[in-house]
Amino acid sequence: MQVDSRTIETMRKAAAKAAKNAYAPYSRFPVGATVLTSHGEIFAGCNVENASYGLTICAERNAVFQAVAAGKPQIRAIVVVTSSDIPSSPCGACRQVLSEFGRDIEVISFSDRGKVLRAQVSDLLPKPFGHEDLATSSRSKGKAR
């Protein structure tokens, strides 16, 4: 079920506000994101970079983790806001994390110029690694590798 335009606008504004708090001294690419839970709650996140690049956290994962930390892992949608000319879709790591919480999560990305990209997680990551892959591993069957 698609999210209504009023909720999307509320999420967009909150994501833009979060982007202003981004810590992005290396990429100079601030990103804000908000997730909407099935209970109608909105959680925001921003990217937080680190001199050891691998320890950086994206805005999308930050927002998801905020929702999970609050005990609300049922995610319906995510809005991403960047200060770019074209909408930026979530990176591969963020797509994988989002798929953990639902393949039908609506992804709505906004550029600084008002352009919009809409998709579902299943469109962005058609064959994710998931819990069902773990169920077939030799480790889950009690066999040593």
Catalytic residues: 60
139's enclosing H/E stretch is none
Q: Give the bridge partners for 34, in sequence order.
A: 44, 79
Report residue 67 as tokens: 């929702």
- Specify the 3-state DSSP secondary structure of 132: helix
- Specify the 3-state DSSP secondary structure of 67: helix
- Contact at 8 Å (CB) between 95 and 124? yes
